[in-house]
Amino acid sequence: MKKIFTVILLLVLCLPAGAAGIWAEAENFSEKGGWVVDQQFMDLMGSSYLLAHGMGKPVDDAVTTVNVPSDGLWHVYVRTYNWTSPWTSEPGPGRFRVKVGGKTLKTDLGVTGDSWEWQYAGKVRLKAGETSLALCDMTGFEGRCDAVYLTDKEGDVPPAGGDALAVFRRSALNLPEPDSQEYDFVVVGGGVAGMCAAVAAARLDCKVALINDRPVLGGNNSSEVRVHLGGYSEVGPYEGLGRMIREFGHTRGGNAKPAEYYEDEKKQAFIDSEENVTLYACYRAVDVRMDGSRIAAVLIRHIETGEEHWLEAPLFADCTGDATIGVLAGADWRMGREGRDEFGESLAPEKADKLTMGASVQWYSVDTGHRTSFPEFDYGVEFNEDNCEKVTMGEWTWETGMNYDQIADAERVRDYGMMVIYSNWSFLKNHKKDNAKWQDRDLEWVAYIAGKRESRRLMGDYILKQDDIDKDVFHEDASFTTTWSIDLHFPDKDNSAKFPGAEFKAATVHNWIHPYAVPYRCLYSRNVDNLLMAGRNISTTHVGLGTTRVMRTTGMMGEVVGMAAGICTEYGCSPRDVYQDHLDELKTLMKKGLGKETGSKEEQRFNLPNKLLEKPKAFIE
């Protein structure tokens, strides 16, 4: 009752007195034009937004219609953000304007402000009835708009952010209360791990909901991020695991390649073919409802319309990468690097710190066969003959945010990735003395969905550590096999020297391993009784994550999670009970695998470790 009263009070306080407001949610515009929906930072700034991702070329207008309740003078406000403000006080590059009823308002938006805020676009006289509303991009350099608000009283704007804005937004959109839907198993996260978890459980007759907050499946392996599959699958002791990856895996390797390399349609068909899987595409999980130490339901919200549903189930899997569901549920988690002494890891730093592996914003250019131009782009990160990157593409090594919080600073981390791409490219095209190599080239693709490697890790009944791998420690609940090296990215020394404290390049050392079967106890929460996890957020140390995070490996752990969900559903038990009472049944399933006998793994033999130790590292003389 207290929470209900607080929400009502916020609503009353947030409504502008005497104002007749018109709210237009940008991501729900009927025609997006060249703008794209960016949902990555919903948890930080309250909603998705539209992004003018034109790579330096203005994008087509986003257009919708609004209903004007009365004739009169209307004041127009836009919630936006100058994304280069962390690096310069100069007006930003993401310039756009608003057009109302065919009239373009003259105020440039998105060029000022160091946080998400309401900016005044101007005033316009309108007649009652439907009228058009458009966002007019002027630069193609990542202008962004959350919402447009028209009011008949100047200065009466919605709250700047937080809970007050969330309440105002919900009222303005007139959203219905969420309904409730029931499943046996709810999987949150539609990357490779989540796909495999959902399908494995479905093939064991579970009714499964799969939540994916993008329109395409695959996460980092999708055409939106473009990281190829890595690591071996179908390796002992349970060679059946990973066979299902043949059903959706792409057959051409490489990072930052053309979209068709990643075969999004194959992933979609993989999920669509499962009658027991209900896919909630473009939905993001935003809240949980608890029943003691168990999750009772997850609240999901559509990234464009704001429509919500409560999904109830006896069992959940967090495959979000960021451990979103686990954290909302109060699960134990870690982020950053453990100190060397905590687990006796030689590859750990002497003292614990907050450093993580970073996020990549990949890109590439193409040779057009004729002279091309690129706008001047200089917003606080200076490139010159000595420090510029003399390349025509950037893949995994273009990595940002290692010294920032990959959750709280996620938008800044992604934005810096785009900032250095555009700044470097502008220097190569416009100022480099010998630039014949770049004169005919255009930016063909720059990611706007960041490819994360590491953030929060959920703690299970067992925490995988370096000692397990080095000594090939035996565990009776050995499950999926990890084969990648202990691959821990760190700031590239040369890049650090050129851009101290503002690195955007990473390096690594491949610490080769003997293939190691990871305990099943790393795949369920130690304090949320009905939560499983698969992906980069499983129970490992930072060092352990270095070998488990590649996507063929996460697909196999997803398959194990789906198998455990099937056993839990059959017996009405918890994930921990599978370890304690039903381990032999899990082993039988892992031995057989749940993939179909189709295709050949030889078609997907790329990005494999080129060196695997025959003996555990600790025992090599």
Give pLDDT, residue 619: 67
Give the ranges where 516-597 is alpha helix by DSSP (H). Answer: 542-548, 551-571, 575-581, 583-592
Q: Average pLDDT in the 192-219 region?
A: 98
Place of tokens 């890790």: 457
Q: Average pLDDT in the 104-124 region?
A: 97
Q: Is the pLDDT of residue 12 over 90?
A: no
Using alpha carbons, list the distances in angstroms from residue 342 to 42, 312, 332, 484, 545. 35, 38, 17, 24, 16
Q: For residue 497, is it within any domain?
A: no
Using alpha carbons, list the distances in angstroms from residue 237 to 101, 233, 481, 590, 609. 66, 11, 7, 9, 18
The structural domain count of the chain equals 3
Q: Are residues 24 and 162 in the same domain?
A: yes
Domain boundary among 112, 145, 174: 174
Sign of CA dihedral 112, 118, 124, 126: positive
Q: 437 is in which domain, residue-wise?
A: 359-452
Q: Is the pLDDT of residue 504 over 60?
A: yes
Q: Is the pLDDT of residue 621 over 80?
A: no
The model's confidence at residue 5, banded by pLDDT at 50, 70 and 90, is very low
Q: For residue 194, is it within any domain?
A: yes
Q: What pLDDT digit, counting tens, does each position of 337-371 carry?
A: 999 999 999 999 999 999 999 999 999 999 999 99
Q: Is the pLDDT of residue 8 over 60?
A: no
Q: What is the mean pLDDT of the chain?
A: 95
Q: What pLDDT digit, counting tens, does each position of 560-614 carry?
A: 999 999 999 999 999 999 999 999 999 999 999 999 988 778 889 999 998 888 8
Q: Is the pLDDT of residue 550 over 50?
A: yes
Q: For residue 6, is it within any domain?
A: no
Domain boundary among 405, 426, 452: 452
The C-alpha atoms of residue 396 and residue 505 are separated, in whole angstroms, by 9
Give pLDDT, residue 4: 37
Other Cβ atoms less than 10 A from the Cβ of 384: the count is 10
Q: What is the CATH number of the domain that holds 568?
A: 3.50.50.60
Range with the lowest mean pLDDT among 17-26, 218-227, 516-525?
17-26
Q: Are residues 557 and 411 in the same domain?
A: no
Q: Is the pLDDT of residue 1 over 80?
A: no
Q: For residue 502, is it within any domain?
A: no
Q: Are residues 335 and 207 in the same domain?
A: yes
Q: Are residues 309 and 283 in the same domain?
A: yes
The model's confidence at residue 241, banded by pLDDT at 50, 70 and 90, is very high
**Of residues 283, 261, 456, the one with CA closest to residue 362:** 261
Q: Average pLDDT in the 231-249 region?
A: 96
Strand 185-188 versus strand 316-318 pairing type:
parallel
Phi, psi angles (nearest 5°) of residue 438: -110, -5
Q: What pLDDT digit, counting tens, does each position of 403-451 carry?
A: 999 999 999 999 999 999 999 999 999 999 999 999 999 999 999 999 9
**Of residues 518, 559, 527, 560, the one with CA closest to residue 460:** 527
Q: For residue 481, is it within any domain?
A: no
Q: Are residues 167 and 209 in the same domain?
A: no
At residue 311, what is the residue type?
L
Q: Are residues 189 and 87 in the same domain?
A: no
The C-alpha atoms of residue 250 and residue 262 are separated, in whole angstroms, by 6
Q: Average pLDDT in the 482-500 region?
A: 97
Q: What pLDDT digit, counting tens, does each position of 265-286 carry?
A: 999 999 999 999 999 999 999 9
Give pLDDT, residue 7: 41
Q: Are residues 129 and 60 in the same domain?
A: yes
Q: Are residues 202 and 220 in the same domain?
A: yes
Q: Are residues 46 and 64 in the same domain?
A: yes
Q: Are residues 409 and 540 in the same domain?
A: no
**Of residues 452, 16, 24, 37, the one with CA closest to residue 216:** 37
